[in-house]
Structure 1
């Protein structure tokens, strides 16, 4: 009997999502706005400041009970 390890690709719904992206041109770090805990976040990869933008991403809900920005 043959069992294929390939999974079928499922089309996930996408939407324009607010993100923070790194201002360092050599870094490609970014994060979703609803996963940021600071008003002005800093890149976790290179410690540079980040700027707001938008990106088409799959819908993802943050269910964390601690969602306040300091």
Structure 2
């Protein structure tokens, strides 16, 4: 019988990230500002306007 110990996962580094967040209260849509092609995007889920916010998100290396 083999036993495998579950090692603790490495912590994922997070940073304050600029995002676009949907203005529609019923929609949870958001996207990173670095991945939008427009200076005033519309929500891809409900097509409402979006506002800028800052969130703590995992760092993505490009």
Separation in 2, partners of 1:48, 1:13 = 31
Give the RMSD, CA atoms, in angstroms.
1.6
In the TM superposition, residue 7 of structure 1 has moved relative to its aligned partner by 7.3
- Which residues of structure 2 form unaligned runs of 5+? none
Report the TM-score when normalising by structure 2: 0.84
Query: Equivalent residue for 2:45?
Result: 45
Residue in 2 that maps onto 1:55: 55
Cα shift at 1:11: 0.7
TM-score, scaled to structure 1:
0.75
**Unmatched tracts of structure 1, length 5 or more:** 64-70
